[in-house]
Chains A and B, each alone.
Chain A
Amino acid sequence: MPVIRIEFTKEGNAKYISHLDLIRAIQRAVRRAGVPVEYSKGFNPHSKIAYGPALAVGISSSAEYLDMSLESPVEETGLVERLNSSLPAGIRVTAAKYLPDGAPSLNAVIGAAAYRITGRPAVWTQGLEQKLRDFFEKESIFIERTDKKGRKKQVDIKPMIAEIQKVLVTDGGVLLDVVLDTGSRSNLKPTDLVEALERDTDIQFQDVCIHRKGLFVKRGGRYFSPLELMN
């Protein structure tokens, strides 16, 4: 069965829905669009769609991905149009491309995500920008995590911050562009980073807004979108 990889946004009102809700919304859109998705056999047939790393409720994204198994091939542009006329506002398909045979799954290849984090400090202090830079230059940043067995342990998240692209302080607030490890091998949630930042700099942020700019495959020290690099 041909498998097509789809890139889509999750913005506006749609950023407030959970991963499970997103799965349901897409299943129904696929049904409305009449896309010949493959269904599993059995009493509760479900469409064969595999998703990339889940996005937390409240975080928007301009590039999420899913792999859909089709019963028969469909022309890409037409598929994008059909899906877009059936999707709820906030979810928009931006690209679609067939996977070569034997291509690894999204979760096997995705290793990083780029985020834009904005917010306003509750109290404006002198040297705010320096404080932020000092935070990112620390040798290690420890946070507490709970493992599967419920044990608490200290984890250094510094190595999981793959890149700091921009640290900007303006009258309007703070803007951070960062690339964080994302995926099954190493994963850092942007909310955990914000929490550690608030703790270590002693700055509380208000109206924090997190946007995922994209998910990436890392190969040879470079980042590729899962549509650019499929093998």
Chain B
Amino acid sequence: MTSVDIEGLLNRVEKPARYTGGEYNSVYKDKREVEVRFAFAFPDLYEIAMSHLGLRILYYLLNQRKDTWCERVFAPWTDMEKLMRENGIPLFALESRDAVSEFDFLGFTLQYEMGYSNVVNMLSLAGIPILANEREEGHPFVIGGGPCAYNAEPLADIFDFFVLGEGEEVLTPILDTYIEWKKRGGTRREYLERVALIEGVYVPSLYNVRYNEDGTIKSVLPVSDRFPERINKVIIKDLDKVFFPDRIIVPFTEIVHDRVMLEIFRGCTRGCRFCQAGMVYRPVREKSPEVLADQAERLIKNTGYEEVSLASLSTSDYTHLEPLVKQLIAAHGEKGVGLSLPSLRIDNFSLDLIREIQKVRKTGLTFAPEAGTQRLRDVINKGVTEEDLMTSVGAAFSAGYNNLKLYFMVGLPTETVEDIDGIADLAFKVADRYYATDREKRGRGLKVTVSTSCFVPKPFTPFQWQPQDTIESFRDKQDRLKKRLKHRAITYNWHQPETSYLEAVFARGDRRLTRVLIRAWELGCRFDGWKEHFDFAKWQKAFADCGIDPDFYATRPRSYDEVLPWDHVNVGVSREFLKRENERAVKARTTPYCREGCINCGITELFGGGICDAGYQNRVY
């Protein structure tokens, strides 16, 4: 193993603590006593990477194995990258400072498309061939997981394989097979052919893609009938019994989510039609409050953190939320440990709950109506009304909150000018509600922040066939809102449409985009999720150089009979369900949420009945 010496570099970079390792609870092992060196990679900056819950879980899960040492590696910021390249220092793991090129696995978690150029850059810094078919014996297996792995076709030529779904259990056969294969001294291809038979593993090099003349896909088929035609995702059936770490790394430097994240459930009972997470993380599986209270206790004790956040896709939908919150506050509130509840829904926001939390610490509140009119909220099946919002903000203002954030999307399917104006109207109504609140009760100085993101149609959602709005149209809508949201208490934030456009291209991209990605990286693209680094002109040049029209991926409507690049992946929700939902959407017809009745999304067909905690046996469709 080649260890790097970075002492001379650390005094010359911003926040050297990003690169030192050695944080409290980080894991150190004797490298001579392990068989597998695993580098868990997150293609972004330390502060972002360390906030990721999946990393926190899998790091300790892998390190539970005596034969494996899992370390971390993140994208060095541009100042560090420059010094590393100047001094010939390869990408290294934080714990051992060994070059990751000599590891057995380099496992990326793929959370968002805008991190793809960093994946390429990290491979280049590591000295690992960027294309999978150029790697030889002795190179690590480059593997990927996370939500973007469900349609990882734009990265298919770069990765050796992907893990689809929840990694906790499937990593065991992947590593066991590896150790056995390594001892036998097999070829890379042999290992890939063996892991391809493990449920949840997708080896893209074992699948051939053929195209039609119009550029759409004709077929995606395995090279041999030994491999499955469709690759199923894997899930953990009982979250109470699955591994959850009782400690997490406590970074020296402040990170984005610098707190204990307690995962209360997976999946989502709601059926928001734009939301990929709500579809791909199904079914709903809750943890019991007893297990959660125990995990919280141990995590607080072992980290010293002063805040616990209840993590899920929709925290207020957790069945036992109120007793859990009361119990956690009773147990830890006096010791100054605060509780935060992100992802509260507008319609079941409980003032009592907020008062409980407020006893300890007061944080700002965020609501996400997502769309400005009832019609459009029905299109996306958000299922909340203006009345819900007004009741909730009224309660929040009366409880003394004066800092609210409102999230919306622009460019949703069927959107019109009225829907855009509806966003501004709603923001003003919220402000009016504040001024109508009793002066004695309300906090002083109202601050409403309205943020709009640009809608990106995602695979495995009912809107996967829908075109994205054009950059020009996004900009017109943002300009309209800028004019209409002029109020001393309202701040308006908007997303760069170019970023969302590129996200849309890669989200629904196919294998032909690998060339574009590598070309963009050659032109200097990296940290595309960061405003100060994103350079759209370079991306445009990359598309032109490769002769690929990005509009084909972003703004083109698809027909139902088109073969989509991700059709050979099965996340559980059926194509029929998604199609039905898309059709109901354009007619602005809502669909009940899962606790009101099973809407037959298909997930129970994949995993058998009884798996979904939303649990209703009565099918409404």
Contacts and interface: CB of A to CB of B under 8 A. Distances in A.
A21 B253 contact: yes
Contact of A28 (B16, B17, B303, B362): B303
Among B20, B252, B253: residue with most chain A CB under 10 A = B252
B31 interface: no
B24 interface: yes
Contacts of B350: none
A32 B304 contact: yes
Given A28-B250, A31-B304, A32-B303, A88 B11 contact: no
Given A27-B304, A28-B303, A43-B361, A17 B253 contact: yes
10 tightest A-B CB contacts, nearest first: A28-B304, A13-B22, A31-B304, A16-B16, A32-B304, A13-B20, A88-B24, A45-B336, A17-B252, A58-B11
A13 B8 CA distance: 13
Given A43-B362, A45-B336, A21 B304 contact: no
B545 interface: no
A39 B304 contact: no
A133 interface: no
A159 interface: no
A115 to B, nearest CB: 15
Interface string B425-456: 00000000000000000000000000000000
A58 B300 CA distance: 30
Contacts of B254: 20-21, 24
Interface residues of A, number: 30
A13 B97 CA distance: 12
A207 interface: yes
Main secondary structure of the interface of B (DSSP, over half): loop
Interface in A1-28: 12-14, 16-18, 20-21, 24-25, 27-28
Contacts of A20: 254
A185 B567 CA distance: 71
B336 A58 contact: no
A175 to B, nearest CB: 18
A16 B303 contact: no
23 contacts: A12-B22, A13-B21, A13-B22, A17-B253, A18-B17, A20-B254, A21-B17, A21-B253, A25-B250, A28-B24, A28-B303, A28-B304, A29-B24, A30-B304, A31-B305, A31-B306, A43-B361, A46-B336, A58-B16, A86-B304, A88-B23, A89-B22, A90-B22
A89 B17 CA distance: 13
Interface of A: 12-14, 16-18, 20-21, 24-25, 27-32, 39, 43-46, 57-58, 86-90, 207-208
A218 to B, nearest CB: 30
Contact of B252 (A21, A39, A43): A21
B304 A88 contact: no
Contacts of A86: 304
Given A14-B252, A57-B16, 14 more contacts: A13-B17, A13-B20, A13-B252, A16-B17, A18-B17, A21-B254, A25-B24, A28-B303, A28-B306, A32-B302, A43-B361, A44-B361, A46-B336, A86-B304
Contacts of B21: 13
A16 B362 CA distance: 32
